[in-house]
Structure 1
């Protein structure tokens, strides 16, 4: 069925781009995925494994893989692992950050290691700074410093403030990704 959809999209001029959504547990990855899909909040529990959904923006299709964010998995797995399946053909990495948790170890070093994986060397990075509606959330500059994004020179990246519960900021992030498909 997936191959049929892909062929039809090619025939009618659509493009499909693979996206992986990563981040620590409780950051809002699954909530963001389902805001994209059905534009409403879905009550979730910790994702074990992954969720995959197709999201359309005009004639651009994104096949989004929401990867479980348990601390044990963190963002990174050694090469030769089952994560190679998720990384293969990935054009975009969405990293979801819990903007209000200043005490948590933000995954900047893991993101750098992940982006060094040979399958992700051409990937663009969208960081959703989630929970911006909460008082005292970190701003975009603070998050950029936590992730040491100034050192990320080989990958286009963008930080988008958002609130997964209301959907605020999510369309702008999706539009940034779409703009990257025309420049790549």
Structure 2
């Protein structure tokens, strides 16, 4: 009879879901990570999905879910079997941060997200109106999430600044989540 394949190289790819309000830069980030190119994107209707190698021997399937208001009610459909959530915020759009805070809370309160670690990508750090990490931690109420691992990284989808650090954080969060 056949033996089960126990080769550690055949592990299932980690499932990473990337969410955030529309125009926060999710698709631009995905293309920058995948192709190291800055491309003009359009609002995502539905989702984009791609495989990425974020570190040596760390591969993920990244789901980039559209963030328009009318699509957010469907976000819960993408959360099952999520290993890590990436939540992207436009750190320069302070008028929409209350909406981003509310949506993050809704996602993290979903039953499928119990204990799932998350990474906040504070995108658009290259804009003069971008908030600091400290200001974003306070505004997004991140200090309230002591029930799971989380981290925050400033970045720019256009320049790529901060993305290497973000992928290192993501790899660390995945490793820790899988060891539990």
TM-score interval for Structure 1 and Structure 2 normalised by the shorter chain:
0.7 to 0.9
Q: Moved runs in structure 1, 4+ residues, more than 4 A?
A: none
Rounded to whole Å, the distance in 1 between the matches of 2:42 and 2:137 is 28
Q: Which TM-score applies when normalising by structure 1?
A: 0.85
Asked if the contact 1:47/1:67 (under 8 Å) is kept, the reply is yes
Matched, 1:144 2:137: yes
Quote the RMSD (CA, aligned, Å). 2.1
Give 3-state SS (helix, strand or coil) of 2:126's partner: coil
Say if 1:28 and 1:83 are closer, same or farther in 2 by CA, change over 3 A. Answer: closer
Shifted more, 108-117 versus 18-27: the winner is 108-117
For residues 35-50 of structure 1, the aligned pairs below 5 Å read: 35-50=32-47
* CA deviation string 1:62-118 (max 9, x = no partner): 1110000102334xx3xxxx5444111101111111111112243212212211211
1:5-36 Cα deviation digits (max 9, x unpaired): xxx9x653555211111111111000001111
TM-score w.r.t. length of structure 2: 0.87
1 or 2, which has the higher helix percentage?
Answer: 2
- What number of residue pairs does the alignment pair up? 172
Give structure 1 stretches of 5+ with no counterpart.
1-7
Equivalent residue for 1:160?
A: 153
What runs of 5+ residues in structure 2 fail to find an aligned partner? Answer: none
The residue that corresponds to 2:63 in the other structure is 65
Alignment of 1:93 onto 2:85: yes
Q: Is the 8 A contact 2:46 2:71 kept in 1?
A: no
